[in-house]
Each structure stands twice: as structure tokens, then as C-alpha cells.
Chains A and B, each alone.
Chain A
Amino acid sequence: MNILVCVKQVPDTTQVKIDPVTNTLIREGVPAIVNTYDAFALEAAARLKDKDPDTKIVVMSMGPANAVNALKDCLAIAADRAYLISGREFGGSDTLATSYILSNAVKKIEETEGKFDAIFCGKQAIDGDTAQVGPELAEHLGLPQVTCALEITEADDAHLEVLKEGTDANMLISIGLPCLLTFTKPSFEPRFPSLKRKMMAMRAQIPTIAFSDLPGIDAGKIGLNGSPTRVKRSFVPERKKNGMIISGGTAAENAAKLSELLSDAKVI
């Protein structure tokens, strides 16, 4: 099976802090990582390869030049080949423009790697949190989709059986190939890279696909100008600061006071 995994390099939002004086995000010094959900997608591909060693895993990422680091992480973990999609023409793209660029890049990469049987994405990126690029990429490519996949339970030449996370129950879904899946957090942890693979990844030459490598792309549909949505303003949300700390009494008195306050506020 020929699998493409789409990854994004993101700031580790678990390490983002708010400047208490200016009330803005402190982005400096925040490490860049492979988006958490994309790592789940890569793990799903790696598990298919565990079962069928003929499986080929290609990763692609759109981003600045240093996004090769995310791609090298993927090579170290499980990927066989990697492609960076990079160019200033792509900057400022919203999800529709991004997915359009990615769909063109997929076709370009398929010239070298052959047709992909499946495209795996993370459910969403932890910086943008839109969960839109996967389904939009599927739409551009005319592929069926399953979102919020937990794991692939069966695979043959024509189908995948996918365990999908549901709101109140999980679902087992059959989908024909080729298809696109987006992955959420499974019950298992993604694997770590081996030292040998790490060394190999460090030396890997990663080809870059630039705007000029995509002759069929419509320049009017990419970047800020090709994006239907615009960020009008961004701001740090106000957190409540006037909360009441109940103290001074014994634990029993404090608990009684809290129960009384909640009752007065009519929340219980």
C-alpha cells in the first residue's frame, strides 16, 4: 500500500505562556513539534507497515524551510520519503487555499511516488484547531473520507475498516480505496524513533516543492489573496479574575460554604 501522511510543524501549544503585563502570547522559545494528531496519523501508517512491510509511507508538509525538521522527525519514526512544500506565494493561506495547494502537491508527488492508496492527516492542528484541511483536501481530490479515526482494524487491496471515534459510541466503518482519513488520539502511544533511523533521517535530503513546481496551480486561489476568510482581529481571551477563594474555615466549613454559594447561585 502507498500511503501519504500530511503533517504540520506547529508550536508546542502546551508550552505557550501569556505575558501577564501585555496580555499577549509569548511565542519566543516555544519549541516546534510535529502536530500531535499528525503523529497519530503517522503511527497508523506505521502499523499498516508493521503488518505489510511492502507498505510505503511518504510524508509531506507545507511550511517554512525549517519545517524539514518535522519531516526528519517523521523519517526517524517511520516514513520512507519526505517532501517539503514551501514558498512565499503560499503564505497567508486559509484552509481552503491551503488544501488547494496541498491537492496540487499531492498530484505532483504522485508523479514520482505513484498513486497513493490512502492519505492520512491529523484530525486538526493544535495551533489552528480548525479540523478543516483534511476534509477539504479530500474534496479537492474527490476522495471519500472518515474523520476522527482511532485505528485501522482491517486493510485489503480495495478497502479499509476504520474504527471511528463517535460522540457517544465508536463506529466501525468500511471505506474504499483510495480515501482520506483524519486521525484522533488512539488508545495507544505513538512509537519512538530508533537511534539508527534518527541517524538516517539526519542525513536525509528532503526535496522542496515550490510554487514554480506546480504548473497547473491557479495563483488566484492561494495565499492571502486567494483565501476567502480573513482574520480581522485576534486577542487574548479574558480569563475570569474575580473568583472567590473560600478559606479561613475548616475543610468542613469551607465545603458547607461552597455548597451554600452554589445553591444561592442556583447552579445546584
Chain B
Amino acid sequence: METKTKDLWVFIETNEDGSAKNVGIELLNPGKDLAREQGGELVAVVIGHNTTEAVKAAAAHDADKVIVVDGTEYESFTTDAYTNAMYHLVTKYGPTTLIIGATQNGRDFGPRLSCRLKTGLTADCTGLSINEETGDIAWTRPAFGGNLMATILCSDTRPQIGTVRPGVFKKGAETAPHAEIINEEYHVDESDIRTKLLKVIKDAAEEAVDLEGADIVVSGGRGVGSAENFEKVIKPLASVLGGTVGASREAVDAGWISHAHQVGQTGKTVAPKLYIACGISGAIQHLAGMSGSDVIVAINKDPDAPIFSVADYGIVGDLFEVVPLLTAEIKKLKG
């Protein structure tokens, strides 16, 4: 596709109530500097329904322009509506770069969009910079279950597109808005939306598990030994910290806790402020899902467990002894 501007776009994904998901606002922060280095403006693209709050949030985080597509067909995500809308915008305005949060929806419609545009897409990036030689975005991402990092360039086609993992970048401070707001009327016919949401199924037995958005995650692994021990040992520590319970694949496969809690390659990728791994040896697949956490604590009785190699703090010991003591200490600390 022909580029018409040097602008860098950040897709602002919305929740069903029209507010912005965190990841889009986070990405405006690195986006601002990358846009300047590429000699263009920072543009936030909001797609959703009743998007006032999302537009306001984008404008308060350094966007030079906010392009808005608002309609009932965008209230809940569909591949077709979002792909068609973004394709329309990109071909109309011709940005040089597009960054999309690597949420489930971002990774669903991102590849369809890039394929329709016949351009390159780099998945699930954890690093963004400018390549000095070419001026292209250098997209850095993990592969091989987190064992290998690759830096990828898309030099010959535009826009260069990447999905970026939530939580990797921090939101910038709010500033006085200066953005030009562009309301773009674009609607997708019902007949062009080829999937239909029949039902949202919340597991009644358990509350929603928001691991990706959690500030603190307390995870248990094989060492926890039973579903009962998850309740008795892991959950109390998570609740005193206001955190979410995670688990390794071994614990999930053993049936001690549901897959919604699984952290790692076949589960969720998390990057909380604090990650406490209890009785988790630290297989590569698990490390791939949590090694981006700010502070990692490992509690394991095997001093050679690989989890200690990524931990900031470790205690070699029996989790059944250490974790309840730690829970009590933190309870004391919090008064």
C-alpha cells in the first residue's frame, strides 16, 4: 500500500462499555517517541461503540490526532467488522506504522488486516525501537517458547504492523489534550459480519480470572500437590496481596485448578509487578509466560530448580511451611 503520511498509528481497543483497554493507552507512550523519530504524528485509532471515554483517554496521552469509528456493530468484537473498518482507515489515510495490542482480538484481526494489505506483521512484540540503518521499526519478539528473541524488520511494504504484548510498556502521565478528533463514518453491513455471538459463558463456579491485567500473581505448580492445597496455601497469599492465582501446566493437567489460571506457553502470558512462584520448577514454557514480570519471587525446595535463574528473590524451602508464614508476615505488614 502507498503511504500518504509518516504517521504512526496506535489502535485503541475498547471494552464493551466503550472505555479504552489499557494496552492501547500504554502503547501511546512508546508510540510518541517512535512517531517523532519517523518524522510523523502520533495517531490514536478508536473503534467501538459509545467511545467518548476512550477518545478522551487517548487525547490525554499525547495523541496528536484521534480517529474514531463508532457504531453498534463495533460494540462486541467481530473479526469482519474490525478488519473492514481498519482496512478502510489505513487505505484512506496511509500511515507508515500501525501498532496493535497483542490481545486476543488484536491477534485475531491483525493478521487478516495485514494479509489484506499485503504487508508484514510481527506478532506479540516485547520490544520496539528504530533501526538506525533503515529507519524502520525494529520489532523484537520472543519465539521458541521464549528461548529465543528475534528482531524483525518490514522494510519494503507499508504500513509496517506489529502486535505488542500488553503490560510491556507503562502508560505515560496524563497531559493537556491537544488532539484533533476526526469522526469517521464507516459502517459494516450486518450481512458482511459472518460470525454471530450466541452466548457469553461465564463459569458460574468461578469468578473471572484476569491474569493478564493483574498487578500481582501468586502461582502454584506441581509442588502444591492438590486442589485442596491451592485453596489452603496459594489462595490466602494471593488474597492478602490482592493478587490473582496462577498455575503451571502441571497443576492444571493434574486437575487441581482450571486452565483459565494457567501461565505459560499454552496458557496466559503475564507481566505483573510481582510474580510469586510456589512449587514451580520453571520449565521453559512457564518462564515464557512470566519472565517479563517486574519482580519475581521463587519458593521451591529444589535449589537447582530453573525458576531461581529468573527470580529476584528466592527461598529454598518447603512451600507448605514458607508460604503460610509469608502470608502471615504480609498480613502483619498491611495491618
Are A232 and B201 within 8 A (Cβ)? no
Are B112 and A138 within 8 A (Cβ)? yes
Q: Tell me whether A255 and B326 are in contact in the complex, defined as CB-CB below 8 angstroms, given that A168-B208, A232-B152, A247-B316 are known contacts.
A: yes
Select B147's contact among A18, A167, A251, beta carbons within 8 Å. A18
The interface stretch among B57-65, B116-124, B174-182 is B116-124
> Is A231 close to B, CB under 8 A?
yes
Contacts of A18 in B (CB 8 A): 147
Q: Give Cα distance in the complex from A144 to B138, angstroms.
A: 31
Are A247 and B315 within 8 A (Cβ)? yes
Contacts of A239 in B (CB 8 A): 287, 291, 309-310
Q: Tell me whether A245 and B316 are in contact in the complex, defined as CB-CB below 8 angstroms, given that A163-B201, A239-B291, A267-B273 are known contacts.
A: yes
Interface residues in A, total, Cβ within 8 A: 80
> Is B297 close to A, CB under 8 A?
yes
> Is A94 close to B, CB under 8 A?
yes
The interface stretch among A1-9, A45-53, A111-119, A124-132 is A124-132
Dominant SS among interface residues on chain B: mixed
Nearest Cβ in chain A — how far from B161, in angstroms? 10
Chain B residues 150 to 200 lying within 8 A of chain A, measured CB to CB, are: 150-157, 194-200
Contacts of A95 in B (CB 8 A): 111, 121, 123
Nearest Cβ in chain A — how far from B328, in angstroms? 8
Q: A16-B144, A94-B120, A239-B310 known; 13 other A-B pairs, CB under 8 Å?
A: A13-B145, A25-B144, A36-B266, A96-B121, A132-B110, A132-B114, A139-B111, A140-B115, A146-B195, A167-B210, A234-B151, A243-B309, A251-B321
Are A245 and B308 within 8 A (Cβ)? yes
Contacts of B79 in A (CB 8 A): 135, 144-147
Contacts of A165 in B (CB 8 A): 104
Contacts of B118 in A (CB 8 A): 96, 228
Cross-chain pair count, CB within 8 angstroms: 261
Are A259 and B330 within 8 A (Cβ)? yes
Q: Tell me whether A228 and B123 are in contact in the complex, defined as CB-CB below 8 angstroms, given that A14-B284, A245-B314 are known contacts.
A: no
Contacts of B273 in A (CB 8 A): 267
- With both beta carbons as reference points, the residue of chain A lying nearest to B157 in the complex is identified as A228
Q: Give Cα distance in the complex from A268 to B240, angstroms.
A: 10
The interface stretch among A61-69, A171-179, A203-211 is A171-179
Nearest Cβ in chain A — how far from B181, in angstroms? 28
Q: Give Cα distance in the complex from A145 to B195, angstroms.
A: 8
Instruction: Give the interface size bracket for B toward A.
Output: 35 or more
Select A258's contact among B122, B202, B315, beta carbons within 8 Å. B315
> Is B143 close to A, CB under 8 A?
yes
Select A229's contact among B120, B201, B216, B314, beta carbons within 8 Å. B120
Are A14 and B308 within 8 A (Cβ)? no
Which A residues lie at the B interface, using CB under 8 A?
13-14, 16, 18, 25, 36-37, 94-96, 99, 126-136, 138-140, 144-148, 161, 163, 165-176, 179, 184-185, 187, 227-237, 239-241, 243-247, 251-252, 254-256, 258-259, 261-263, 265, 267-268
Nearest Cβ in chain A — how far from B197, in angstroms? 6
- With both beta carbons as reference points, the residue of chain A lying nearest to B317 in the complex is identified as A251
Contacts of B318 in A (CB 8 A): 251
Are B194 and A16 within 8 A (Cβ)? no
